[in-house]
Amino acid sequence: MEIKILKGQSCYIPGRVNVGLWKDGKDGCFLIDSGGDETSGRRLFRLIQENNLKLRGILNTHSNADHVGGNAYLQKKTACPIWASSIEDTVIQNPFLEPMLLWGAAPFRALTGKFLQAAPSLVTQILSPGERVPDTDLTVLALPGHFINMIGFLSADGVCYIADSLFAKEVIEKYRFMVAFDVEATLATLDMLEKLEAAWFVPCHAEPVEDIRPLVNENRKGIEALSHAVHDLCSVPRSREEILALLVQKWDLEMNPVQYVLNSSSLSAYLTFLEKKGLIVPFVEKGNLLWQKKH
């Protein structure tokens, strides 16, 4: 684990989930997300100490467990404040809500592991898009789509931390399903990022890039491919579960119960997207909620 400087005070820590780090120009730093679990928190704490820095706060982009898993350990060790957007703060403080939202009820045991349910931590301040994070030169950006109220941060150095607003090409090709809460909002965020002027863009699941446009294009293509595949399968009435099974077979994907629930939830977002565009309609037949192309 190492701190890599991108420009000026704006840095990042490469990992399975990239973590942002902004130095305050004195002896302090702010983390942008905290990794997936207590081990991540321990490693980040050690890294900060090795670099003679003090943790001034954690800025959470959203409440998914792989972004807030280190919060509890770091807050216990340093008493640092934690900032997050509204609604996401509720999930961070009540992390059972993430698997509950994905499953739609009290989650079964496989969904309560650290991948979906982090340890709770205390959010001390709410952030809103357009405002400056206190004691920093970081401006809050709205990044809706991936989860309920995701945000990112743009530094005065021109480094933009964009959370899970897009994914690496290899991730898209491997998993096919990009986790989405709202597909229409995801596309709007991609449009915004494509026009945004910044020196660097730092996604959490892709390498930092100076030109975001090729990565935006790959993510648009991935969304379009999944949208078209779902739409095509609705040529005849099919349930969400049947559509998911057919896509998994088509792309030869392997899933465990956690991945099934994530993909099922994302598929729901695509069905909503297509229904809102007037391309498919839902109806109930023999106790099954079915989807079919609108004629």
Residue pLDDT, tens place only, 214-244: 999 999 999 999 999 999 999 999 999 999 9
Residue-level pLDDT at 21: 97
Q: Look at residue 295 and tell me whether its pLDDT is greater than 80.
A: no
The predicted structure's pLDDT at residue 294: 86
**Percent of the chain, pLDDT > 70?**
100
C-alpha pair distances (Å), 222 with each of 29, 83, 145, 186:
36, 32, 15, 12
What pLDDT sits at residue 178?
85
Q: Are 162 and 203 in contact (CB under 8 A)?
A: yes
Q: What is the per-residue pLDDT across 44-66, written as a single tens digit (0 to 9) for each?
A: 999 999 999 999 999 999 999 99
Average of per-residue pLDDT values in the chain:
95
10-13 and 4-7 as β-strands: parallel, antiparallel, unpaired?
antiparallel
* 278 pLDDT higher than 90: yes
CA-to-CA distance for 295 and 292, rounded, in angstroms? 9
How high is the pLDDT of residue 142? Answer: 97
Residues 140-198: tens digit of each pLDDT? 999 999 999 999 999 999 999 999 999 999 999 888 888 899 999 999 999 999 999 99
Picking from 188, 193, 178, 205, the residue whose alpha carbon sits closest to that of residue 270 is 178
All domains in the chain, ordered by first residue: 4-164 (3.60.15.10), 232-293 (1.10.10.10)
The DSSP H or E segment spanning 66 is: helix 65-68
Q: What is the pLDDT of residues 112-129, one digit of tens each?
A: 999 999 999 999 999 999
Tokens at residue 52, please? 């003679």
Two tokens, residue 66: 């792989």
CA distance 295 to 280: 8
pLDDT tens per residue across span 27-41: 999 999 999 999 999
- Across 124-158, b (16+ Cβ under 10 Å) vs e yields eeebeeeeebeebbbbbbbbbbbbbbbbbbbbebb
Exposure on the CB side of residue 207, measured as CA atoms within 13 A: 6
pLDDT for the residue numbered 175: 87
Rounded distance between C-alpha atoms, residue 112 and residue 100, angstroms: 9
Give the residue from 81, 68, 152, 183 showing the smallest Cα distance to 118: 68
pLDDT at 89 over 80: yes
Over the range 167-188, which residues count as b (16 or more CB within 10 Å of their CB) and which as e?
bebebbeebbbbbbbbbebbbe
